[in-house]
Amino acid sequence: MNRLSNDLSDSVLSVSIAALDIAAVRGRFSALDRGLAFFDGPGGTQVPDEVVEAIAAYLRGSNANLGGPFETSRRSDLLIGEARRAAAGFLGCGADEIVFGANMTTLSFALTRALGRELSPGDEIVVTRLDHDGNVAPWLELGRDLGAVVRFAEIRDDTSLDVDDLAAQLSGRTRVVAFPWASNAVGTLVDAARVAELAHEAGALAWVDAVHYAPHGPIDVAAAGVDVLLCSPYKFYGPHLGVAFARAELLERWRPYKVRPQADEPLGHRFETGTQPHELLAGFVAAVEYIDSIGWDAIQAHERELGRRFLDGLPNSCRLYGLAGMEGRVPTFAFTVEDRSPRAVAEELGERGFAVWHGNYYAVEVMERLGLSEGAVRVGIVHYNTVDEVDRLLRELAAL
């Protein structure tokens, strides 16, 4: 195994990680108390006990549909308002600009269909080869339905987005630029504010998939200047759910697909089909409160140090796809192991107590661009991972 980098001394590393109090963090997750090291965060994180308790508490004491003249229904009404406010604080927008749904992909199909009522044949949508297919397929299907043109912005060999190529794809017919804040496959970050600026210069909407970025850093849609953003709480320590932001002006303008009796206020509610999973919204509120209690500074410092440790110790038998350092990325790593298929590596690591993914993770364009027909092994680090877990994983990779 390669020698771990000496860029930071062990003492500096311990100080930066001690700021998080990893033992206290892990003590809040009963799910971590087992013989399995979870490096599967990009597919869904574990949840702290307070999220579990919030879900159970709602079902025990407030379970009802909305709008009823009785106690449990009134509690449910209050919860929905609390969930909108929590989402607004998490994303930096107004509470009426929040839309809840089953997951990011379902919301993406719903909102793109609403926008599609304004599109004409020949209108253009630009997506990227860095995207999860949840931010590609809805546009491709809309193109088939309406005769719209979908263009792909390329990525460079290091998996960073080729912003110059994206700019070259823009024209007077561009209506949407859809892009990821961070790649769910290779971890590469995108300069959301810069891409939004280019989109607006072309008169287009900036439409962001922030599913993979949301566990790793703060989001402020106003500062980034984006028009639509989607994310998934089950990727940031919450329940299986989808959350979207769209600017109020758009939500007012778009005609939603909804049943006739559904209320038009708040604005985001117009795009929420059917009864929402109230108990999961209670869990979502608890997840946001959990992140607030830890703080992004501690989360990012810890993840950055673990990510650097993983990269510095990756054995020579492993080929990394993506940026070689922690600049410009989140700690999600795609790699292959010499003479072994990604599936075989993931299965063997699973038998040895490590949860990792293999395949393309719905990042179809990225894998095709990298020539990975079988995909890759994916290791995702989040803030509840430890130095010991990273070191043990590196030793197992070297043993392979």
pLDDT 10s per residue in the chain (400 long)? 343 333 433 433 444 444 899 999 999 999 999 999 999 999 999 999 999 999 999 999 999 999 999 999 999 999 999 999 999 999 999 999 999 999 999 999 999 999 999 999 999 999 999 999 999 999 999 999 999 999 999 999 999 999 999 999 999 999 999 999 999 999 999 999 999 999 999 999 999 999 999 999 999 999 999 999 999 999 999 999 999 999 999 999 999 998 888 888 899 999 999 999 999 999 999 999 999 999 999 999 999 999 999 999 999 999 999 999 999 999 999 999 999 999 999 999 999 999 999 999 999 999 999 999 999 999 999 999 999 999 999 999 999 8
Give the residue from 303, 90, 270 showing the smallest Cα distance to 189: 303
> The tokens of 235 are what?
């990727």
- pLDDT computed for residue 179 by the predictor: 98
Separation between Cα atoms, residue 148 and residue 173, nearest integer Å: 10
CA distance 311 to 186: 13
Q: Decide: residue 67, CB within 10 A, 0-12 exposed, 13-18 middle, 19+ buried.
A: exposed
How far is it, in rounded angstroms, from Cα 296 to Cα 211?
A: 16
Q: Which domains does the chain have, with CATH numbers?
A: 10-34+295-399 (3.90.1150.10), 52-291 (3.40.640.10)
- The Cα–Cα gap between 124 and 166 comes to 13
Residue type, 59: L
Supply the pLDDT for residue 4.
Answer: 38
Q: How far is it, in rounded angstroms, from Cα 357 to Cα 377?
A: 6
Integer angstrom CA distances of residue 294 from 36, 241, 298, 383: 23, 22, 7, 10
- Give strand pairing partners of 337: 318, 340
pLDDT reported for residue 2: 41
Judged by DSSP in three states, 166 sits in: helix
Q: Which residues contact 68 (CB under 8 A, 6 or more apart)?
A: 74
Task: Give the N- to C-terminal CA distance of the chain in Å, as an integer.
Answer: 11
Give the model's pLDDT for residue 11: 39
Task: Give 196's Cβ-side CA count (13 Å radius).
Answer: 19
* Contact between 330 and 186 (Cβ < 8 Å): no
Give strand ranges (E) for the chain. 37-38, 98-101, 124-128, 149-153, 174-180, 205-209, 228-231, 242-246, 318-321, 332-337, 354-355, 357-359, 376-380
pTM for the whole structure: 0.94
The span from the CA of 305 to the CA of 386, in Å, is: 10
pLDDT of residue 315: 98
Distance CA 20, CA 304 (A): 12
Paired tokens of 234: 């089950």
Q: Are 95 and 326 in contact (CB under 8 A)?
A: no
